[in-house]
Structure 1
Amino acid sequence: MRRLGNTRRTIRPARGSRRVAVAAGGAALALLTALPAQAQPSASQGQAPSAHTPGAAAPHWDLKDTGATAVRFRGLAAVDRHTAWVSGTEGTVLRTTDGGESWRNVSPPGAADLQFRDIEAFDARRAVVLAIGEGEASRVYRTEDGGTTWTESFRNTDTRAFYDCLTFFDRRHGLAMSDPVDGRFRILSTDDGGRSWNVLPDDGMPAALDGEAGFAASGQCLVASGTKDVWLATGGAARARVLHSSDRGRTWTAADTPVPAGDPARGVFAVAFRDRTHGLAVGGDYRADQPSPRAAATTGDAGRTWRPATTPPPAYRSGVAWLPHSRSAALAVGPTGTDLTTDSGRTWRTVDTGSYDTVDCTPDLGCWAAGEQGRVARLES
């Protein structure tokens, strides 16, 4: 969406053959769901000391020193507790393979003028990153060697298109979405892991509402679950909607959500699905001086209908992720804090007050968050 000033789902490695390390992360997540309602104080913005009360036996966001304090990271792809990729302003892409203790700048050359708002990672070596913007500013790059080299696999040549998010169903099949062109959201498709892309026909896409668009805020306005299901979150129009496709983007249905819209700054900013049926939506009004009532909703029928959270987050939230191996717990993040739900999104409570834009969790019980001033953190106990 063009109006969001500074504004995922990661493709996991094959897991049947690898061991899942759960001890450290499991302790943190178990403690997190038992936290009292009071918010845990976080480390002050832009600093890297521990983000919890000294001596408190509670999990917390442990800020990592990325060395990129001038960059805002809205793209995040967590591979596991040790490996994560982040992408952001100034054409920046960073990667860690040691749990955030050190970061390698793997930015594509010549990309300093681009904004990388979404990144999807297959493992520590292979990733696909999306640059957003009007016309040729929207691009896709792919690496197969940990970011040592990159190949530009797509450059938008339609001045009417503006790409916001991308997602993958598996290592081969993925989609990217653009704000409406000729009255319908445009969908880009790949079946070779992001090496090549094609625009899908739009005859299966419902007409967009007046002013409707996506928010390139966290890489979570387009998310997939399973091999064929994908959801697209919108805002900016009279109603905030979530569109669903069960055939990899060929045909779509649209559903209204109770998240307020009616303004270019309001709507659903992120969705997350723990399976093809149960999902969460978060958003609000991204302007700091505006309230964000009813900023979260839930679905239990694959997005056909949405219900408002009875106790939503207290402010705008741009990212959301289910906690691994949980059927009821999830985290939502935004510039004013992190909120936790333990009842599948019906009620939320603030557990941290640090600023983050996006969040991602992995099956080995690793949770990562990223945001402004080079902030990247991992959940620790």
Structure 2
Amino acid sequence: MFRNLLLFFLCTGSFASASQNLEIISTGNGTNLRGIGGFKNTIWVSGSNGYTGRSADGGQTWQWQQVPGFENRDFRDIAVLDENTAILMGIASPAYILKTTDSGHSWKTVYENRDTAMFLDAMTFTGRKMGYVIGDPVRGNIFIARTTNAGNNWEQLPGPAALPGEAFFAASGSNLVVSGKKIRMVSGGTASRLFDDRNVTVLPLLQGTASAGANSIAVLDSRMMIAGGDFQHPDRRDSVLLLSTDGGKTFRLPQHGPGGYRSAVAPLNQLTWITCGLNGVDVTTDGGLNWKPVSDKPFNTIFINAATKTVYLAGPKGTVGQILF
């Protein structure tokens, strides 16, 4: 989560012409969207005030709802397992995970945790059955839970110890990724670290305050990108994105980075990646060394549907955008 069309527009070097290709396909309701996912032509988004949005035709038309009984809940992530099945993650305490198998007509609570320290941050599935969710530290250890039956049941796993002031950002649902058999996650706050299976690396990324650190990680083969910054200072461009070509053993900063804080990053191929944040969207076509602006519109999260050659972005005010490639 285009190649031909997007590469053409990027090669023109024109911000104006590039931004014209980001089409707004839905906007206007009172929700800040931070969750996005899809299966074939079915696209789901989720956000604050209990909202979900679903499109069964690749984003042409949308059905919106506030999940009954959860109108005050903030759904920061959503996983889409098939055309009819989706898993919702609700933040804060009590923490909830909900499941629908009928396209959102009904929802079942499949996980509830009333620990006052609970704050879920991100969720990912590796296929239809296996899924993981992470959360802020509970009594000093990072919260991790796993499902092996498509979200019907969740078991807590032992989590690594967190440093004082270290947590996760529930900004885009993308600070957790599973590649191969490795669970990788990136933290922020007073410390920003990469947890790569049993290896832990302090990231050379903007950090040290409650609003700074890593927000997103994406992996494609041996190439890895980590995006973040300081959401309280979204125009700061220093140390907001890291790239690695050796699977996270070493990192470097881009020669010309994105335009500020970025909450999500995703790959189209080895050389072409997209990132988004509160002050815009950027694309690289040289493997992360140089980034060019596509739009100055704010977005929180990204989903790329390779089959339909479309990138979807979701953000504030119920806004969903798409770029065809």
TM-score strictly above 0.5: yes
List per-residue Cα deviations over 1:291-325 (Å, max 9, x = no partner). Answer: 241110012333233222222112111111111xx
Q: Which runs of 5+ in 1 are unaligned?
A: 1-8, 10-24, 43-50, 53-59, 246-251
Report the Cα offset of residue 107 of structure 1. Answer: 4.1
Q: Aligned equivalents of 2:69 and 2:52: distance in 1?
A: 12
Say whether the 8 Å CA contact 1:257–1:307 is kept in structure 2: no
Number of the residue aligned with 1:48: none
Say whether the 8 Å CA contact 2:234–2:260 is kept in structure 1: no
Aligned positions of 1:5-16 closer than 5 A:
none
Number of the residue aligned with 1:371: 315
Q: Aligned equivalents of 1:188 and 1:71: distance in 2?
A: 27
In the alignment, which of 152, 168, 175 is matched to residue 214 of structure 1? 168
Q: Aligned equivalents of 2:16 and 2:281: distance in 1?
A: 10
Number of the residue aligned with 2:200: 254
Report the Cα offset of residue 352 of structure 1. Answer: 1.4
Report the Cα offset of residue 39 of structure 1. Answer: 2.1
Number of the residue aligned with 1:348: 291
Report the Cα offset of residue 359 of structure 1. Answer: 1.0
The structure-2 alpha-carbon separation of the partners of 1:123 and 1:106, relative to structure 1 and needing over 3 Å to count, comes to farther
- Whether 2:183 is the aligned partner of 1:230: answer yes
List per-residue Cα deviations over 1:130-159 (Å, max 9, x = no partner). Answer: 0111x21x2101111111111110011221
Report the Cα offset of residue 240 of structure 1. Answer: 1.5
Moved more, 113-122 or 96-105: 96-105
RMSD: 1.9
Moved more, 192-201 or 177-186: 177-186
Q: Aligned equivalents of 1:104 and 1:77: distance in 2?
A: 15
List per-residue Cα deviations over 1:323-347 (Å, max 9, x = no partner). Answer: 1xx2111000011111111122122
Q: Aligned equivalents of 2:61 and 2:76: distance in 1?
A: 22
TM-score (norm 1): 0.80
Number of the residue aligned with 2:100: 143
Report the Cα offset of residue 288 of structure 1. Answer: 4.0
Aligned positions of 1:52-201 closer than 5 A:
52=20, 60-66=21-27, 68-80=28-40, 82-133=41-92, 135-136=93-94, 138-201=95-158
Say whether the 8 Å CA contact 2:129–2:148 is kept in structure 1: yes
The structure-2 alpha-carbon separation of the partners of 1:380 and 1:290, relative to structure 1 and needing over 3 Å to count, comes to closer
Say whether the 8 Å CA contact 1:118–1:130 is kept in structure 2: yes
* Equivalent AA in structure 1 for residue 182 of structure 2: D
Say whether the 8 Å CA contact 2:49–2:66 is kept in structure 1: no
List per-residue Cα deviations over 1:94-152 (Å, max 9, x = no partner). Answer: 1001222211125432110100001111222111110111x21x210111111111111
- Whether 2:306 is the aligned partner of 1:306: answer no
TM-score (norm 2): 0.94
Q: What secondary structure, in the 3-state scheme, does the structure 1 residue paired with 2:166 have?
A: coil
Aligned length: 324
Moved more, 365-374 or 97-106: 97-106
Q: Which runs of 5+ in 2 are unaligned?
A: none
Report the Cα offset of residue 287 of structure 1. Answer: 1.2
Say whether the 8 Å CA contact 2:167–2:188 is kept in structure 1: yes
Q: What secondary structure, in the 3-state scheme, does the structure 1 residue paired with 2:174 have?
A: coil
Q: Which has the higher contact order (CA 8 A, sep 6+)?
A: 1
**Percent identity over paired residues:** 31
